[in-house]
């Protein structure tokens, strides 16, 4: 009747029919409840189809939540009040008793007992954990994320909350209130199960809570109050009310905590981003749920008549346009509750939108663009490059690593750096996107190492900042990178750049650092000083070596200029390849000649070098223009290619050649690792040979890479340790060629078998003249005051043929490592009288700091002063020096790159502008014997071999041989005023670099790539430029930082027998006939067969191609000229020659000639496997014995053989078949003839060691 009075139920047949249908569908239980409430006046609506009276029951659902919340809150407050009152009352009683105790001292004892008894009874259970505390602790463990059970439970509650929110989204499409049968409604059943779980979890949380009141007011608790009880009411009433179930969206606020529990979020930015997003989204969805509720229900005081039908997602849209202040007006709130809520939501939502959204966008924008992970490609290696990653360092590295002359480089380069690349570097990466990837991170972070798959990388390369102000700090950073990488994966191969030589010792402290396994440290200071030192012995050699180990493209020039010949040589590089079986049984000189003449390849070294006869599987080191040309040495077949004149036609033929077995290849690789010959090596036991089939299937081997073979063997040994021989196990993997040792040292010969043991008989075993390794000349340490020369003393001392080192530095300058410059000049393969005196000109304060590493080298003097003082330069006779080296220790302290080399440039220009008296120079040269060897035709000791050819007298500073170190490549334009080099020209194309007068450390960047592709290249470089530094010496320097003297034993003297670089003059001597229009190939063959000299380049006058004579004395380098290259008389030929045992006895007038008599005269192959030629011994007994020996060999060998006659396996080298040389001819092969003088060249000679 009330419904009809209000007019809410329409009249008519339709209404009657609908009412009838509703009555038929009424649930019996609900009808009973309604009948009980007939007298209650409640609003109703026709939107409830299950109620014929149209009555709503939303208040029942809401009341259940309110009663639960406020009832529990009341109980908690009541409990706290009672507890407080009880505590206060008990406290008052205790105080009263204490007061009575004080007032009645006679009754103290009973009172004490009375008081003490309960206290003790209370203290007793306090020491034990009660069951309430145990339950509370158990509940705390269950809901915490500290245990696996707790984490699972927390994640499960969050997942079920999201599931309940999803059910809400589904039910939001239904009316706000509807009649549903619990037994038939599937979603209601699932929601009920979820809420039962939430109820149990709520109980655990309540038990574990320390502050019940604060727990009751928590957001999660409020969510449970308004979502859990209504579900039970729904089951009881068979009626569903959408109500406040949208509050489940507030659970999204815990999303970041869940991800942290799962160890997904680790960084602060990611946690902050997820927090902001979860708060924003949960607030947005919750507010949309409230608008959806009130707008679809209407205002209660309006009898719910002002409702409007809005879907939940329309409400979500409405809230978004409201927060963003856009407000299109297409959707808006009509109810008073909705509008009132929107007023307050705009204030909070607008503030949240304005603060959260920009911060979210900023965090997303600041996320690492290169923060992904590398995905390895099957069948393709990858390397990791880290350290100093800049546009310059990366471009230089990629240009050399990906050079086309390397054939096909199937290696992907992964750069790892903690700073994102700039636009230029990013563009460079994009240009090489097929082979280059960049990831932002640090190698000090194991997570970043895992991202770049360092464990599966073929190698890790660490670049150093060559221009840093503090080299020691840069080295320390790279050492820490090595430690981090090795700690993550000890087996990874690491190639790192080091700036200072003394910092290499710290790498030895890393347990997993092992150069035998391929780890290498490229010390830039060591190699830079070594290159410069070699230029002091053969000017221009630094340029030639730098070009050989760098990948340069061929640039063709049609005009007949010096650049044409220089660039033809620049295109040559160093490669390795196995020699064909056609070379087996031939001697090394024969193979060298055959490769050069027929294959157009220059073979400079072989492995194994212990014998001069080629063996199966010999590895050769070649100089060629690209890798394809070197394949000729591997494909060469005598039967198919003997009559071919064009080397390009030498391809793989169909002949069945003896194929090196897997065991043989592995054996050679093992021998290469341990540094022994195949006969002496016992690394591989028979069990390895028996498992070759398994090994070949498991580890397919490369036909070229020795490193790969050795690595394969080590991998197989790791899986099959029983295959190791006891000796192999003891060595723990054998010994690879030392990065710094000469290959000559691989083979030791018994001194009793050495001919000419008369030198050993004359040895003074009590005198230390060499270091403990026998690789360098040594003397007892000298105080720096004894080697200091004043200007007047230096002027009175006749200095000539010496090396002047101009060094800029002060007390605060970083040390450049002058020891690395002196060591190659004091190598033991020079005789004492052949050592060039070294004079340092610079700040005494700086040189005092360096002296600790120099005080054990002979013939070293110091002139305190400045290289910019001409008086100091004239005092050291700079016009008579063999080389002037200009170095600076202050280069990296200047920020302006163009000013970094200002001191070196000023010193170079200062020297070049000096003028000298011609008459004084001629008098000094003639009276003191300073005429260069070969120039004085009347001298019986004229030699074609010498360190540097100089004019009879130097009148201008421009003719003084100078080599200047530069930091900035572009500054090379300031060294020569007469050249036309453009500032943007690459360093190797400039005239000063081509002439060998300038050297920059940047040319050493290519060694990183060269070492990766062939780790033996670095061994060869160190052998050539360091004078023979060994791992034993490096370990000694790491311990003592000084050379240790050693006695002259046959073993140490044997180390002197190694080759050295020299320059061969063509204007006089045995090669004079080839100097005027002869072919370089004829010179190559003659020098190789006659003098065991291996020629590999020319040092030619810059204007030699000009027909008109010029006064220019500048020379440039030509690397590996072709056979038909025409020679000119002024050419100097770069060659590798043997150590001369008898050169120390050629000058009896020297007071120190006895020093050279201690050198060993044993015959063995050199570094390049060139057998020494017959030399005349000063002892008549030895000479007669050798004459008989040579005669016997001549009769046996007969005439000179051709390349492929039936040469026996033990054939002697061809040069031995030549008749014995005369004394005059023998003296001509001595290098660097000393010049005796009436005045000792340096004062310290008086107390020689």
Please tell me the distance from the alpha carbon of residue 709 to that of residue 702, in angstroms, as a whole number. Answer: 7
**Mean pLDDT across the stretch 682-710?**
44
Residue 436 has pLDDT above 50, yes or no: yes
Cα–Cα distance measured from residue 569 to residue 625, given in angstroms and rounded to the nearest whole number: 9
Buried b / exposed e over 244-260, threshold 16 CB at 10 Å, is bbbbbbbbbbbbbbbbe
- Report pLDDT for 905: 93
pLDDT of residue 789: 93
Assign 12 a pLDDT band (cuts: 50, 70, 90): very low
CA distance 744 to 754: 16
> Does the structure show a pLDDT above 80 at 34?
no
| Least confident stretch, 300-304, 619-623, 994-998 | 300-304
- Do residues 613 and 751 make contact, with C-beta atoms less than 8 angstroms apart? no
DSSP code, position 516? G
DSSP for 1063-1078? EEESSSSTTHHHHTT-
Residue partners of 1071: CB distance under 8 A and separation at least 6: 944, 1064, 1065, 1083, 1086, 1087, 1133
Domain map of the chain by residue range? 2-56, 136-365, 381-513, 660-742
Q: How confident is the model at residue 875, as a pLDDT?
A: 94
Task: Calculate Rg over the CA atoms of the chain.
Answer: 46
> Where do we find the tokens 């003082």?
869
The pLDDT score that the predictor gives to residue 53 is: 61
Rounded average pLDDT over 816-823: 93
- Of 1027, 874, 883, which Cα lies nearest the Cα of 963? 883
> How does pLDDT run across 1006-1019, given as a tens digit for each residue?
899 989 988 788 88
Provide the pLDDT confidence category of residue 558 given band limits of 50, 70 and 90.
Answer: confident
Q: Please enumerate in sequence order all residues whose Cβ is within 8 A of that of 899, keeping only pairs 6 or more positions apart, or say none.
A: none
Of 808 and 54, which is predicted with more confidence? 808
Under 8 Å between Cβ of 1032 and 1051: no
What whole-number distance in Å separates Cα of residue 53 and Cα of residue 977? 110
Q: What are phi and psi of 745, to 5 degrees?
A: -75, -5
Average pLDDT taken over every residue of the chain? 75
Separation between Cα atoms, residue 93 and residue 440, nearest integer Å: 71
Residue 1051: which of 779, 756, 754 has the closest Cα? 754
pLDDT band at 368 (very low <50, low <70, confident <90, very high): confident
* CA angle (546, 550, 553) in 5-degree steps: 125
Q: Examine the pLDDT at 439 and tell me if it is beyond 80.
A: yes
Q: In the chain, pLDDT over 90 holds for what percent of residues? A: 28
pLDDT over threshold 70, residue 23: no
Instruction: Give the contacts of 95 (CB within 8 A, at least 6 positions apart).
Output: none
pLDDT confidence band for 786 (50 / 70 / 90): very high
Say whether pLDDT at 694 is over 60. no
What are the angstrom distances between the C-alpha of 861 and each of 802, 837, 858, 874?
Answer: 11, 8, 9, 15
- pLDDT one-digit tens code per residue, 622-635: 999 888 889 999 98
pLDDT higher than 50, residue 1159:
no
Please state the rounded mean pLDDT for residues 979-990.
78
Average pLDDT over residues 188-214: 88
Least confident of 277-291, 359-373, 542-556, 1198-1212: 1198-1212
Contacts for 440 with CB less than 8 Å, ≥ 6 apart: 368, 369, 370, 371, 416, 417, 418, 419, 420
Taking residues 483-506, report their average pLDDT. 93
Least confident of 160-169, 362-371, 771-780: 362-371
pTM exceeding the 0.75 threshold for the entire prediction: no
The class that CATH gives domain 381-513 is: alpha beta
Distance CA 97, CA 107 (A): 11
Q: What is the pLDDT of residues 726-759, one digit of tens each?
A: 333 333 333 344 433 343 433 333 332 333 333 4
Neighbouring residues of 93: CB distance < 8 A, sequence distance ≥ 6: none
**Does 1162 score more than 50 pLDDT?**
no
Closest CA to 573 of 536, 535, 602, 598: 602
Spatial neighbors of 423 by CB under 8 A, at least 6 apart, are none
What does the longest C-alpha to C-alpha distance in the chain come to? 149
Q: Is the pLDDT of residue 95 over 70?
A: no
pLDDT surpasses 60 at 969: yes
- Give residue 14's pLDDT band: very low, low, confident or very high (50, 70, 90): very low
**Span 15-40, mean pLDDT?**
39
Contacts of 425 (CB under 8 A, 6+ apart): 389, 390, 391, 394
Residue with tokens 């394969």: 712
The yes-or-no verdict on residue 1058 having pLDDT over 50 is yes
CA angle 584, 586, 592 (to 5 degrees): 110
pLDDT at 642 over 90: no
Query: Which of 257-271, 684-698, 990-1004 is the least confident region?
Result: 684-698
Q: How far apart are CA 650 and CA 1003, in angstroms?
A: 34
What pLDDT, on a 0 to 100 scale, did the predictor assign at position 703? 38
Residue 483 above 60 pLDDT? yes
Per-residue pLDDT, averaged over 885-911, amounts to 85
- Given a cut of 90, is residue 1201 above it in pLDDT? no
The whole-number pLDDT of residue 129 equals: 55
- Which residues are within 8 A (CB) of 329 and not within 5 positions of it... i.e. 6 or more apart? none
Q: What is the pairing mode between strands 411-417 and 436-440? A: parallel
């Amino acid at each position: 009747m009330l419904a009809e009075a209000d007019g809410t139920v329409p009249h008519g047949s339709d209404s009657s029919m609908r009412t009838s249908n509703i009555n038929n569908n009424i649930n019996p239980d609900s009808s009973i409840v309604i009948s009980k409430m007939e007298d209650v006046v409640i609003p109703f609506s026709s939107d409830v189809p299950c109620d014929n009276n149209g009555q709503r029951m939303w208040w029942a659902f809401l009341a259940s939540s309110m009663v639960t919340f406020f009832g529990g809150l009341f109980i908690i407050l009541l409990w706290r009040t009672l507890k407080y009152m009880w505590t206060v009352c008990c406290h008052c009683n205790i105080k009263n008793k204490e007061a009575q105790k004080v007032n009645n001292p006679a009754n103290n004892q009973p009172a004490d007992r009375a008081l003490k008894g309960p206290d003790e009874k209370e203290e007793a259970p306090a020491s034990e954990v009660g069951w309430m505390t145990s339950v509370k602790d158990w509940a705390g463990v269950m809901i915490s994320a500290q245990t696996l059970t707790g984490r699972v439970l927390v994640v499960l509650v969050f997942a079920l909350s999201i599931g309940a929110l999803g059910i809400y989204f589904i039910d939001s499409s239904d009316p706000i209130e509807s009649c549903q049968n619990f037994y038939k409604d599937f979603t209601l059943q699932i929601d009920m199960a979820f809420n039962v779980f939430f109820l149990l979890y709520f109980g655990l949380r309540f038990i574990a809570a320390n502050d019940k009141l604060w727990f009751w007011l928590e957001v999660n608790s409020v969510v449970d109050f308004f979502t859990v009880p209504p579900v039970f009411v729904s089951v009881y009433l068979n009626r569903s009310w959408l109500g406040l179930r949208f509050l489940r969206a507030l659970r999204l606020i815990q999303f970041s905590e869940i991800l942290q529990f799962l160890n997904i979020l680790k960084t602060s930015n990611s946690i902050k981003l997820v927090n902001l997003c979860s708060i924003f989204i949960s607030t947005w969805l919750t507010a949309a749920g409230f608008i959806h509720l009130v707008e679809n229900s209407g205002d209660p005081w309006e009898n719910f008549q002002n409702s409007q039908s809005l879907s939940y997602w329309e409400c979500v849209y409405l809230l978004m346009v409201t927060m963003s202040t856009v407000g299109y007006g297409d959707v808006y709130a009509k109810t008073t509750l909705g509008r009132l809520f929107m007023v307050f939501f705009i204030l909070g939502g607008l503030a949240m939108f304005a603060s959260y959204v920009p911060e979210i966008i900023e965090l997303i924008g600041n996320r690492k663009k290169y923060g992904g992970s590398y995905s390895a490609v099957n069948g393709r290696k990858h390397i990791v490059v880290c350290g100093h990653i800049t546009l310059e360092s990366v471009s230089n590295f990629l240009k050399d690593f990906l050079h086309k002359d390397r054939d096909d480089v199937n290696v992907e380069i992964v750069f790892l750096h903690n700073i994102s690349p700039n636009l230029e570097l990013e563009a460079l990466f994009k240009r090489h996107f097929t082979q280059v990837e960049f990831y932002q991170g640090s190698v000090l972070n194991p997570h970043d190492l895992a991202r770049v798959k360092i464990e599966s990388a073929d190698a890790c390369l660490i670049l150093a900042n060559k221009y840093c102000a503090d080299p020691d700090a840069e080295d320390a950073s790279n050492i820490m990178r090595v430690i981090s990488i090795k700690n993550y994966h000890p087996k990874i191969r690491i190639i790192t750049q080091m700036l200072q030589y003394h910092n290499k010792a710290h790498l030895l402290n890393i347990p997993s650092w092992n150069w035998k396994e391929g780890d290498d440290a490229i010390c830039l200071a060591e190699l830079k000083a070594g290159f410069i030192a070699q230029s002091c012995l053969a000017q221009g050699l630094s340029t030639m070596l730098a070009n050989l180990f760098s990948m340069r493209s061929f640039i063709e020039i049609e005009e007949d200029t010096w650049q044409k010949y220089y660039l033809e040589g620049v295109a040559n590089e160093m490669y390795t390849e196995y020699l064909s079986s056609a070379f087996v049984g031939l001697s090394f000189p024969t193979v060298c000649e055959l490769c050069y003449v027929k294959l157009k390849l220059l073979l400079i070294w072989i492995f194994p070098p212990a014998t001069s006869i080629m063996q199966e599987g010999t590895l050769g080191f070649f100089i060629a223009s690209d890798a394809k040309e070197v394949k000729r040495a591997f494909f060469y077949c005598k039967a198919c290619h003997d009559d071919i004149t064009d080397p390009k036609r030498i391809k793989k033929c169909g002949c069945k050649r003896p194929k090196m077995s897997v065991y043989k290849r592995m054996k050679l690789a093992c021998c290469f690792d341990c540094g022994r010959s195949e006969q002496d090596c016992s690394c591989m036991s028979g069990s390895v040979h028996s498992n070759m089939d398994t090994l070949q299937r498991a580890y397919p081997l490369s036909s070229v890479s020795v490193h790969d073979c050795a690595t394969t063997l080590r991998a197989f040994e790791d899986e099959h340790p029983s295959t190791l021989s006891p000796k192999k196990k003891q060595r723990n993997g054998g010994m690879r060629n030392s990065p710094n040792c000469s290959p000559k040292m691989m083979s030791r010969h018994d001194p009793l078998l050495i001919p000419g043991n008369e030198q050993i008989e004359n040895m003074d075993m009590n005198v230390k003249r060499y270091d403990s390794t026998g690789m360098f000349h040594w003397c007892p340490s000298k105080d720096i005051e004894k080697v200091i020369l004043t200007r007047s003393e230096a002027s009175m001392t006749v200095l000539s043929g010496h090396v002047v080192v101009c060094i800029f530095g002060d007390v605060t300058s970083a040390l450049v490592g002058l020891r690395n410059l002196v060591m190659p000049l004091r190598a033991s393969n020079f005789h004492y009288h052949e050592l060039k005196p070294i004079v340092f000109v610079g700040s005494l304060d700086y040189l005092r700091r360096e002296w600790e590493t120099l005080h054990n080298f002979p013939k070293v003097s110091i002139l305190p002063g400045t290289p910019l003082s001409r008086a100091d330069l004239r005092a050291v006779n700079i016009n008579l020096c063999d080389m002037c080296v200009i170095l600076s220790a202050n280069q990296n302290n200047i920020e302006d790159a163009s000013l970094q080399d200002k001191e070196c440039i000023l010193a170079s220009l200062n020297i070049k502008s000096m003028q000298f008296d011609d008459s004084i120079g001629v008098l000094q040269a003639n009276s003191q014997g300073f005429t260069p060897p070969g120039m004085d035709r009347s001298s019986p000791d004229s030699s074609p071999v010498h360190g540097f050819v100089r004019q009879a007298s130097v009148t201008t500073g421009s003719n003084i041989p100078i080599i200047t170190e530069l930091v900035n490549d572009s500054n090379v334009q300031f060294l020569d005023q007469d050249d036309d080099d453009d500032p943007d020209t690459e360093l190797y194309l400039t005239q000063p670099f081509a002439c060998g007068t300038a050297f920059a450390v940047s040319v050493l960047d290519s060694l990183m790539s060269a070492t990766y592709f062939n780790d033996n290249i670095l061994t060869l470089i160190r052998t050539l430029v360091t004078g023979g530094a060994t791992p034993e010496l490096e370990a000694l320097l790491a311990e003592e930082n000084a050379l240790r003297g050693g006695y002259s034993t046959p073993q140490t003297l044997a180390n002197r027998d190694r080759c050295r670089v020299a320059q061969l003059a063509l204007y006089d001597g045995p090669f004079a006939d080839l100097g005027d229009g002869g072919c370089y190939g004829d010179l190559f063959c003659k020098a190789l067969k006659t003098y065991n000299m291996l020629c590999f380049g020319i040092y030619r006058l810059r204007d030699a191609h000009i027909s008109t004579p010029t006064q220019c004395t500048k020379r440039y380098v030509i690397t590996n000229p072709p056979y038909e290259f025409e020679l000119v008389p002024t050419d100097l030929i770069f060659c590798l020659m043997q150590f001369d045992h008898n050169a120390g006895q050629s000058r009896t007038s020297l007071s120190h000639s006895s020093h050279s008599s201690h050198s060993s005269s044993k015959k063995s192959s050199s570094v390049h496997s060139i057998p020494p030629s017959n030399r005349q011994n000063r002892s008549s007994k030895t000479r007669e014995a050798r004459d008989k020996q040579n005669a016997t060999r001549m009769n046996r060998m007969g005439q000179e053989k051709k390349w492929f006659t039936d040469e026996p396996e033990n054939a002697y080298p061809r040069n031995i078949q030549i008749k014995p040389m005369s004394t005059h001819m023998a003296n001509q092969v001595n290098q660097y003839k000393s010049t005796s003088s009436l005045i000792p060249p340096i004062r310290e000679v008086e107390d020689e060691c």
